[in-house]
Structure 1
Amino acid sequence: MAESLNNSGTASGFSIDEGEVARFSALAAKWWDVKGEFAPLHRFNPTRVRFIRDTCLDHFGRDDLALKERSVSAKRNPRRAFEGLRLLDVGCGGGLLSEPMCRMGFTVTGLDASEKNIGTAKAHAEEGGLDIRYLNQTVEQLAASGEVLFDVVLTMEVIEHVVDPDAFLKTCASLVKPGGLLFVATLNRSLKAYALAIIGAEYVLNWVPKGTHDWSKFLSPSEIRQFLDGTPLLPDPAVGVEFNPLTQQWGLSDDTEVNYMMVARYPVTAAF
């Protein structure tokens, strides 16, 4: 599978949709503007950060470790409960997830096909004194490089922007080490998602630029599970995420008809 950097300075590879990369590259400088085009993502971010944190604390048994560290030394930061674990943030954009994951103690690699996104992410991390490894590569390039496997792989709001979601997700799964976790967040291909995520968010509320999403690329939880067939990862049931207009906040929900997140676990005894 041949992959390279194209003339626009973006990584080109099997799963990359060049039009989507160009769209997000044009917005690269605005990732950290909480009132700009990515304002909805900033409001959404705390919910997905908590979901990742709580799932990882439970899965890796790090909650007790954090409490022990707190009792041993008040100078140690209990929030850095994930020391020694490697995390890959696929489609990291400007680093909105990579940075809080780094602060929690993960050794973070952020991956994005847009050179401009990576530039923004690097600059912001340096301003905050965060040691994050950012790479302008596709996930296929990283997998082909012989990269050491990761304890956690994040694919959050990315899979609906690639040309071959099946191959993309299988490649992401191949980078999870035994005993590790794969997180997937995306939008369901339902009429409710079309009404809220496209008509509502793009054309009525103007939360995101028009054309940000293509409803035909939305994926159901059953399709995500199907893509993971043939891998050793075992998916949990999907968890819905919904917006409360009264509180103006996002939260977890039983409703997976619009936004949802899924976790797939790699049993230690399984073989890829």
Structure 2
Amino acid sequence: MSRPRLAALPHELRRIITTAIRHHSTTTTSSVSSSEVSHFSALASSWWDPHGPSRILHLMNPLRHQFISRCRNTSSPLTSTHPSTQSPSPSPSSPPHSSRTLKYLDIGCGGGIFAESAARLPNALSVTAIDPTPDVIAVAKGHMRRDPGLAQSGRLQYLNTSIEDLSLLETSAPHESTSTASSNASRTADSKGMDIVSIFEVIEHVNSPNAFLDQCMRHVKPGGWLIGSTIARTMTSYFTTKFMAEDVLRVVPRGTHDWNKYINAEEMRECVARKEGWGEWRVMGVLYVPGVGWREVSKGEEWGNYFFGIRRLQ
């Protein structure tokens, strides 16, 4: 995207662009934003209402699973060298993965829309889901208890914690209780890590995104994936996600997004590509169409919502 001529833009947009430049050079010791915690606390009670303020997230959930499957099914065999971050050609003949082998860590899980659905997958061995907002974790636990089979399986555990406070630990064994798992969060953990670490619609809500990514990437095992979704910082995304989605259509609660915190796909790729031992960058642009739902859009990552994935190679 070419640099906009600031003098030709309305005052409010000039202020936003200038603030965004300052924001991306700022660092803090924690990724947790108190204002974001307050915002999502207010939405907690309606998290599982498919027609409520979180309906966009419910509609996006199938695409989350689709993108994870696409990343895993087109993975190259691990090698001892550090390959390019360019994606390999898809391999439709990739062998299926055996069942109940995958460990998930869902960071910024909210009320548990993705975490709960992941725990029900036939390939899920365990899902650990964390969020710094107590109210939404309470909602997530309450919803899980509505399904006694899931709650008693031990495959899903929720922790009210930030990524900075979570040790690198292997997901608690299926028989461990949530209280035991919470105490484990402070221990030095198993270095094997997770197969899938997800940060869906999270990084645009945190402080210090670079430091946040570093913390997330610590938890991925060799061969595993860091997978997330966010929004490109463009004039188009400001119009669609702020003006239209929040102010006009009201499909997203007002104040949910801060355009200053959006991250372009190329910025994201450059950030993770600098990490030694990582590669196989993936990206998929998506668009929400009112009345239709979320759809994959070619090159959509250049101006709006997108999924991204990066694999730990060593």
User: TM-score, structure 1 length as denominator?
Assistant: 0.82
Flag the structure with more relative contact order, 1 or 2, with Cα contacts below 8 A and sequence separation at least 6. 2
2:163 aligned residue: 139
**Structure 1 counterpart of 2:268, from 210, 224, 240:** 224
Match of 1:72 in 2: none
Question: What letter corresponds to residue 15 of structure 1 in structure 2?
Answer: S
Percent identity between the two aligned chains: 36
Equivalent of 2:130 in 103, 107, 111: 111
CA distance in 2: counterparts of 1:29 and 1:97, whole angstroms: 17
Conserved? CA contact 1:90–1:112, under 8 Å = yes
Gaps of 5+ in 2: 1-28, 78-92, 169-185
- In structure 2, do the counterparts of structure 1 residues 82 and 200 end up closer, same or farther at CA, with 3 Å as the change threshold? farther
Q: State which drifts further: 196-205 or 227-236.
A: 227-236
For residue 145 of structure 2, give the secondary structure of its aligned residue in structure 1.
helix
Distance 1:147 1:111, change over 3 A: farther
Task: Tell me the residue number matched to 1:47.
Answer: 63
What CA RMSD, in Å, does the superposition of the two structures yield over aligned residues?
A: 2.1
1:234 equivalenced with 2:276 (yes/no) = no
Are the aligned partners of 2:60 and 2:294 in contact in 1 as well (CA < 8 Å)?
yes
TM-score with structure 2 setting the length: 0.72
Contact 2:282–2:310 (8 Å) recurs in 1? no
Aligned to 2:102: 85
CA deviations 1:15-48 (Å, max 9, x no partner) are: 1001101110111111100111111211222222
- Cα pair 2:106 2:115 within 8 Å, conserved: yes
Change (3 A) 1:179 1:38: same
Residues 195 and 223, structure 2, Cα contact 8 Å, conserved in 1 = yes
Q: Is the 8 A contact 1:109 1:135 kept in 2?
A: yes
| Matched pairs, number | 241
Structure-1 separation of matches of 2:215 and 2:307 = 18
| DSSP 3-state at the match of 1:36 | coil
- C-alpha contact (below 8 Å) 1:170/1:231 kept by paired residues: no
Choose which of 258, 264, 274 in structure 2 pairs with 1:214: 258
Give 1:57 shift: 4.4
In the alignment, the residues of structure 1 paired with residue 99 and residue 118 of structure 2 have an alpha-carbon distance, to the nearest angstrom, of: 9
Q: Which moved more, 1:101-110 or 1:152-161?
A: 101-110
Q: Give 1:33's aligned residue.
A: 49
Q: In the alignment, which residue of structure 1 is the partner of 2:34?
A: 18
Which range moved further: 133-142 or 224-233?
Answer: 224-233
Q: CA deviation at 1:235?
A: 4.9
Task: Give the match for residue 24 of structure 2.
Answer: none
Work out the CA distance in 2 between the residues paired with 1:233 and 1:139. 20
CA contact (8 A) 2:269 2:281 kept: no
Contact 2:107–2:197, Cα closer than 8 Å, also in 1: yes
Q: Give runs of aligned pairs for residues 1-272 of structure 1, distance below 5 A.
A: 14-59=30-75, 64-65=95-96, 82-104=99-121, 105-106=123-124, 107-128=126-147, 129-130=149-150, 131=154, 132-143=156-167, 145=186, 146-148=188-190, 149-228=193-272, 229-245=274-290, 248-254=292-298, 255-256=300-301, 257-267=303-313, 270=314
Could you give the per-residue CA deviations for residues 205-252 of structure 1, whole angstroms, max 9, x where no partner exists?
00111111000100011221233223422251421011234x612121
Residue segments in structure 1 that go unaligned for 5+ positions in a row: 1-12, 67-80
User: How big is the shift at 1:117?
Assistant: 1.1
Question: Which structure has the bigger radius of gyration?
Answer: 2
Distance 1:190 1:235, change over 3 A: farther
Q: How many angstroms does 1:55 deviate by?
A: 2.8
Letter of the 2:285 counterpart: G
